[in-house]
Amino acid sequence: MTAPITFVGGKGGVGKTTLAAARALALADTGLRVLVLSTDPAHSLGDALEASLSDEPAEVAPRLWACEPDADAAVRRRIAQVAEDARQAVPTEVMPAVHRHLDQAGSSPGMAESALADLLIDRMDEVGDRWDALVVDSAPTGHLLRLLHLPTLLTPWVVGLTRQRERANRAEAFADVVGRSGPEEDDDPLLRRLHARRHRLERASARLREDAVVALVTVPRRMVLAETARAVDQLAGAGFALDRVVVNQIPPEGAAGPDTAAALAATRERFAAQGTVEVPLQDTEPTGAARLRRLAAHLDTGAPA
């Protein structure tokens, strides 16, 4: 049995996208409504499924939907919403400065990741209602770690902004010599949105630890083993549940060179307590439903608890 939400991650080039697609298809074949989405900017989920994908989920097989969110479009939508909130809450003469700030923020590092996290949280909120299971084809390991930590990292920042906004409102009320009160929360769209965002991030952070599991993919190479081991330690230390490590692209018996054989032995030893799932090297590129199903046979995928 697995969790309702599964993140499939690993170093670039280990086959995580293909295995995420195979896992999602296997779950759909058990009768579940499954969504698989990509948070990797270098989208290749559509290639694995042999389907044209966009922001909105599209049914690509019976009971299986897939999407590849557009981070840049999400950033533009977020900036437009913030600008609209500001227009309702600040004086007109301040708006040019607001727009300049938003233009700079839109191109700042981390904005795309934050926007993707918002889109991911939207889909997580649908699990249990619209979807029975969610499979996330994650960006390479470093991006996955930041994405999973983002709700926790952003919450104090949002709390700080909320307090600043509340202090500003109180100061405005006290400073008004004619007795006009400052905006209350119900009249302040920025404050309402900050409170809503704080609660949303807190719920997402809790759900990531309660209903999600991370399945890391590796291959029998020493360098990849080292990165996977670090990711396991960091994720476990942060309280995330870990599935068995998927060891992909294992050569046929007798065909592995000494370096590959040694790396495979070291991988089995390193993850013995956690457990591993071994997937043989495929003789053809595993794209499309038929090949993905053959690949999924090695994953021993169960239905969510």
| pLDDT for res 66 | 98
| Residue 241 confidence (pLDDT) | 93
Compare 141 and 233 and report the one with higher pLDDT: 233
Per the listing, tokens 């559509």 go with 46
Say whether pLDDT at 107 is over 70: no
pLDDT reported for residue 180:
45
pLDDT in tens, 244-303: 999 999 998 878 899 999 999 999 999 999 999 999 999 888 999 999 999 999 987 655
The pLDDT score that the predictor gives to residue 108 is 62
- Residue 207: which residues within 8 A CB-CB, separation 6 or more? 5, 124
pLDDT tens for 62-105 read 999 999 988 777 777 767 776 776 676 666 776 777 667 666 66
The stretch 164-192 carries a mean pLDDT of: 55
Q: How far apart are CA 267 and CA 219, in angstroms?
A: 9
Residue 174 reports pLDDT greater than 60: no
Q: Hey, what domains does the chain have and what are their CATH numbers?
A: 5-72+122-159+202-296 (3.40.50.300)
Q: Regarding predicted confidence, which is higher, 175 or 172?
A: 172
Looking at residue 156, its pLDDT comes to 62
Which two three-digit tokens encode residue 64? 């299986």
1 pLDDT higher than 70 = no
Q: What is the mean pLDDT of the chain?
A: 82
Which value, in Å, is the radius of gyration of the alpha carbons in the chain? 23
Helices (H), the chain: 16-29, 45-49, 71-89, 95-106, 111-126, 141-175, 189-210, 222-237, 258-270, 289-296
Cα distance between residue 10 and residue 143, in whole Å? 10
- Give CA–CA dist 81/154, Å, rounded: 18
* Phi, then psi, of 203 in degrees rounded to 5: -65, -40
